[in-house]
Chain A
Amino acid sequence: MQEFKLGPATRDAYGETLLELGKENPDIVVLDADLSESTRTKKFGNTFPERFFNVGIAEANMVSVAVGLARAGKIPFISSFACFLLCKGYDQLRIGVAFPESNVKIVASHGGISIGEDGPSQQSVEDIALACALPGMWAVVPADQAATSALVRKAAEHVGPVYIRVGRPKVPIIYPDGGPFELGKAFVHRLGKDATIIANGLLLAEAFKAENLLRQKGLDVGVIDMHTVKPVDEDAVAEAARVSGALVTAEEHLLTGGLANQVVQAAARTHPVPIECVGIRDTYAESGTPEQLMEKYGLTASHVVRAVETVVQRKKRPSPVLAD
């Protein structure tokens, strides 16, 4: 079975990349709301104090100050925990960032439930849905260090608002050699004959583990890294649906409003096939170790395996005849 070496957390990759970007581009400015130690923006702040603003525990103000800085020609990166940045700054993101298409980059740490023991008030299960609901906002969930670094750089180049979710725990290295990463373009690892798993973030490693487990059971399963949830790579979804005839989505997020939502819509528009979705049901989580939580809330390779087996069964069944 495929083993991934454990690498740094995606928030660490963000902090390092931000520092590099700061050296390369004097227009990069960074704002944080008293969590710079945790979001890893502190490195930038220590090196470029004049371009770093710790606004204190005042997320709404942080978002709107970034709007002004963007209008003044700067490229602001704003960071906090995903739950606070999205929920406390939502109206500001709506009217200040999304509506006028401000060039603000929102990089939120501690996404998902894998932060563990701090519990549901600090966990973020709905941030992608909130980001995706804002017209024109791009939403990105990188899986590892290389992907985070590349996609943060792409976000800095992209003119317009981008939301990137990074996480707290150390994560498996999926891309030891890096790879071509483009915002809005899926990383298609392989398309399966029986099904293809479309995953992102922490669930990408689980998807690969599931692929191996299923191979032992005689199923040929592909994997796509859909790091950009919005705009979703519709061509990649359509191609996977055509080739595999069945899809599974997997994400560390509510089943509503995130990756599942985007993939299901894309498939429905282009090539409808049976789809099963792995994610958090309509609930908040609780305190526990990250591993315990991922198991309890249905976000492991074995959950992905079950979803693939289900969808393959559904694919084999003849189309249901609708009764009167």
Chain B
Amino acid sequence: MSPQASGLRARAADKKSHNLEELADKAKVVRRHIIRMISEAGSGHPGGSLSMVEILVALFFHTLRHRPGEPDWPDRDRFLLSKGHGCPALYSVLAETGYLPVEELMTFRKLGSPLQGHPDRRLLPILEASTGSLGQGLSIAVGLALGARLDKRSCRTYVIIGDGESEEGQVWEAAMFAAHQKVDNLTAIVDCNGIQLDGFTRDILDMEPIVPKWKAFGWHVQEIDGHDFSQIFAAFKKAASTRGRPSVILARTVKGKGVSFMENNPAFHGKAPTKEQTEKALQELS
């Protein structure tokens, strides 16, 4: 699906229009958390956290069937962050949905905190997996989805991977396996923000054209604007109704989205803002 033309997009927008403003506000709140957390910690990954905020907000405030008061609910939809360095965004959304006290966000990366530099299930058991070594989350998500299928649960598994992360060979092992097993209770979202640690993905190891790659691996493929809630909802809906094969949503996003000097700037892949930059960022996000 092209980002422009979509009847589904319009329908989803109509249905959820009463919500869209609220969700946009929520995204702003989450972005402010991200900036404050990383600033307070003095380290972390702002760029790839900011790029997937709308996707996470759409999942946790709209699409996922989950119960923050009952995190072990067996029929919950599963969510897994494979690009673990983006965890400030995940922690913030978990706090905003009631899984964590909001105050706890400021303990990010500090000794004894459950909010480790990369997601750690030992200390934060509500996570589906510990991640941080790239390339493994899609395989784990396939395992979660197969487990749900064996138990005949109707839940769905969602996983976010990075476009840089997709350079890992294991992503494609998992892609082949999921298609072969017809794992259709799985939606993978690729946060295509175009930047990895050392620079622009197109310069380091170009994954384009990415759409035909996923199609050739047997997946149902959609390409959307990853900051447009109506497109995100429409894509989630279409993915969930796809039978016989797994679904991937290639979300075109802007690394560092929402903070002018971080947008499309490889320098903010893994660097904390200075005090002045933090203030400027928070002003822009107010």
Contacts and interface: CB of A to CB of B under 8 A. Distances in A.
Contacts of B151: 72-73
Contacts of B147: 68-69, 71-74
B128 interface: yes
Nearest to B121: A100
> How big is chain A's contact interface, by range?
20 to 34
Contact of A56 (B142, B145, B150, B176): B176
Contact of B142 (A68, A76, A92, A94): A68
Contacts of A68: 128-129, 139-147
A63 B170 CA distance: 11
Nearest to A101: B122
A71 B120 CA distance: 14
Contacts of B180: 56
Given A53-B181, A96-B136, A65 B129 contact: no
A71 B135 CA distance: 18
Task: Identify whether the interface residues of B are mostly helix, strand, loop, or mixed.
Answer: helix
Contacts of A99: 120, 122, 130
Given A64-B140, A67-B140, A67-B143, A29 B150 contact: yes
B122 A64 contact: no
Task: Identify whether the interface residues of A are mostly helix, strand, loop, or mixed.
Answer: helix
B220 to A, nearest CB: 20
A205 to B, nearest CB: 39
B131 interface: yes
B244 interface: no
A271 interface: no
B133 interface: yes
Interface in A100-116: 100-101
Contacts of A56: 173, 176-177, 180
A95 B129 CA distance: 9
> How big is chain B's contact interface, by range?
20 to 34
Given A67-B143, A72-B151, A100-B129, A95 B177 contact: no
B263 to A, nearest CB: 31
Contact of A60 (B144, B145, B170, B181): B170
A55 interface: yes
A66 B143 CA distance: 6
A94 B136 CA distance: 11
B270 interface: no
Nearest to B142: A65
B133 A65 contact: no
Interface in B157-203: 169-170, 173-174, 176-177, 180-181
B133 to A, nearest CB: 5
Contact of B143 (A60, A72, A95, A100): A72
26 contacts: A29-B150, A56-B177, A58-B173, A61-B174, A64-B136, A65-B146, A65-B177, A66-B143, A67-B129, A67-B143, A68-B128, A68-B144, A68-B146, A71-B128, A71-B140, A72-B143, A74-B150, A91-B133, A91-B136, A92-B139, A95-B133, A96-B129, A96-B140, A100-B122, A100-B129, A101-B122
Given A71-B129, A72-B150, 19 more contacts: A58-B176, A58-B177, A60-B169, A60-B173, A61-B173, A64-B136, A64-B137, A64-B140, A65-B140, A67-B139, A68-B128, A68-B140, A68-B142, A68-B146, A69-B147, A74-B147, A95-B131, A96-B129, A96-B140
